[in-house]
């Protein structure tokens, strides 16, 4: 019998995502001016207020208030009626120096044996049900909100949109775990007060979502995904009614509260650690990227249709305490999952420093990850300028989303004789 699976996403203007983007903008600036920075920073956003807190070891000195305001303005919180805007909100910093007790477990004279920044377990996942090896329900959820943000910035076809939004997609699967159809789509978007009555306003929003947003999203997918969008989809557009009060004024936001949106939408597994606000010595972040890199390359190499990889660490210890792999019975090679895992350990060095080097994680690449998911994105080489009121500006050429590259497919095929 067929079954349903649901994933959600939240926009860049969602309060928790505002907090994530500010925290990761701080990470980027610290790394741009000092690649050896160790940072763990949290952000809280609420009505007219931003609070920054955390621990830092760095030679860089930043204007953290200016950085936070720039992020908020870029997202689109630029109007007083939002009760939260980048030019007028208060910004309080409680950032202080990192504990020596933590730092001594991470730094080593031999950098290759740098210890893990904390204990914990991290998961990476990949499936062949989409072109970017991501779960379908999450991929559609992210796409809905990215296109909605494009429409908001264009200010032409849907001019009343505000930055805060959420989406949710339910996919029907067959018994052999293949997507059959889209069952339901939920879109809740913040908006201006633009009509004489709530009923008129909500009717206009529903019409625009169905006739403007959905066709754009549909056109962005290949034909096999488009075929899943039937005429019987159940739409829930702003189902609680009007959504004028939103963003940090409507709901306080905190760094690290959207870890399932950031990863696989509930597919696979999650170790519980957030990403944003953490430099790559924190394996919560770097090892999660490394396991995604492994899982994606394994599926692309034809080892299995679906792969979950877990790795675990002890704080201050370089080598993982364990590596686990699950192909959910979809393996295309005549080996057990345990045997496959042992071979993978021989291909990928999972010590923290090796992960940093392989995926180029000591670069300022993180603000872009903090909305619309850390996984399933497109790698890109580009130059980024980081201004400073205290020293010369820094221009850095970076490669983003390196963990999404299919650069180990040939090595994996060779190891498994494919």
Give DSSP secondary structure letters for 100-147: HHHHHHH--SSGGGPPBSS-EEEEEEEETTSTTS--HHHHHHHHHHHH
Cβ neighbourhood burial of 227 (10 Å; 0-12, 13-18, 19+): exposed
Say whether 98 counts as a known binding-site residue: yes
Cα–Cα nearest to 163, from 149, 150, 151: 149
Say whether 107 counts as a known binding-site residue: no
**SS3 per-residue string spanning 30-92:** HHHHCCCCEEEEEEEEECCEEEEEEEEECCCCCCHHHHHHHHHHHHCCCCHHHCCCCCCCEEE
CB 213 within 8 A of CB 144: yes
Cα–Cα nearest to 276, from 284, 267, 265: 284
Say whether 334 counts as a known binding-site residue: no
CB 26 within 8 A of CB 55: no
Say whether 278 counts as a known binding-site residue: yes
Exposure string for 297-330, b = 16+ CB within 10 A, e = fewer: bbbbbebbbbbbbbbbbeebebebeebbbbbeee
CA angle 178, 183, 186 (to 5 degrees): 125
Q: Encoding tokens for residue 34? A: 């000092």
Give DSSP secondary structure letters for 261-297: HHTTTTSS---S---TTB-TTSHHHHHHHHHHHHHHH
Say whether 358 counts as a known binding-site residue: no
3-state secondary structure at position 357: helix
What are the C-alpha distances in Å from 364 to residues 9, 42, 103, 203, 396?
A: 24, 17, 21, 43, 8
Say whether 14 counts as a known binding-site residue: yes
- DSSP lists the bridge partners of residue 125 as 308
- DSSP lists the bridge partners of residue 169 as 7, 185
Say whether 282 counts as a known binding-site residue: yes
Say whether 416 counts as a known binding-site residue: no
Q: Encoding tokens for residue 340? A: 């496959």
Say whether 96 counts as a known binding-site residue: no
Say whether 258 counts as a known binding-site residue: yes
Say whether 42 counts as a known binding-site residue: yes
Binding residues for ATP: 14, 164-166, 242-243, 251, 257-258, 274, 278
Binding residues for Mg(2+): 16
Binding residues for K(+): 42
Binding residues for L-methionine: 55, 98, 251, 282
Binding residues: 14, 16, 42, 55, 98, 164-166, 242-243, 251, 257-258, 274, 278, 282
């Amino acid at each position: 019998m067929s079954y349903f699976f649901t994933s959600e996403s939240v926009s860049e203007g969602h309060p928790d995502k505002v907090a994530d983007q500010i925290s990761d903008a701080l990470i980027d600036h610290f790394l741009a001016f000092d690649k050896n920075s160790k940072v763990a920073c949290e952000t809280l956003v609420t009505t007219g207020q931003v609070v920054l807190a955390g621990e830092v070891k760095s030679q860089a000195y930043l204007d953290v208030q200016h950085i936070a305001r720039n992020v908020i303005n870029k997202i689109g919180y630029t109007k007083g009626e939002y009760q939260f805007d980048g030019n007028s909100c208060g910004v309080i910093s409680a950032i202080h120096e990192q504990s020596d007790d933590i730092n001594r477990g991470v730094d080593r004279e031999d950098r290759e044996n740098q210890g893990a920044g904390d204990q914990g377990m991290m998961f990476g996942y990949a499936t062949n049900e989409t072109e970017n090896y991501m779960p379908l329900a999450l991929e559609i959820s992210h796409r809905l909100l990215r296109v909605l943000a494009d429409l908001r910035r264009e200010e032409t076809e849907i001019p009343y949109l505000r930055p805060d939004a959420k989406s949710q997609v339910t996919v029907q699967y067959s018994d052999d775990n293949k997507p059959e159809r889209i069952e339901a789509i939920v879109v809740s978007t913040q908006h201006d007060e633009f009509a004489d009555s709530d009923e008129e306003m909500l009717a206009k929003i529903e019409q625009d979502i169905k006739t403007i947003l959905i066709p754009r999203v549909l056109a962005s997918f290949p034909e096999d995904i488009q075929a899943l969008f039937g005429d019987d989809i159940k739409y829930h557009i702003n189902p609680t009614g009007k959504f004028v009060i939103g963003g940090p004024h409507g709901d306080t936001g905190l760094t690290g509260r959207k870890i399932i949106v950031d990863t696989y939408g509930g597919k696979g597994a999650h170790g519980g650690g957030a990403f944003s606000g953490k430099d790559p010595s924190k394996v919560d972040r770097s090892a999660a990227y490394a396991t995604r890199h492994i899982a994606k390359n394994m599926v692309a190499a034809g080892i299995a249709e679906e792969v979950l990889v877990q790795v675990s660490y002890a704080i201050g210890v370089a080598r993982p305490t364990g590596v686990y792999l699950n192909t959910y019975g979809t393996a295309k090679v005549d080996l057990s999952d345990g045997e496959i895992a042992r071979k993978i350990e021989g291909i990928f060095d999972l010590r923290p420093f090796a992960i940093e080097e392989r995926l180029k994680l000591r670069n300022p690449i993180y603000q872009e990850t903090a909305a619309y998911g850390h996984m399933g994105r497109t790698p890109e080489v580009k130059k980024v300028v980081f201004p400073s009121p205290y020293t010369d500006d820094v221009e850095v050429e970076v490669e983003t989303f390196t963990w999404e590259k299919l650069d180990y497919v040939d090595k994996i095929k060779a190891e498994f004789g494919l």
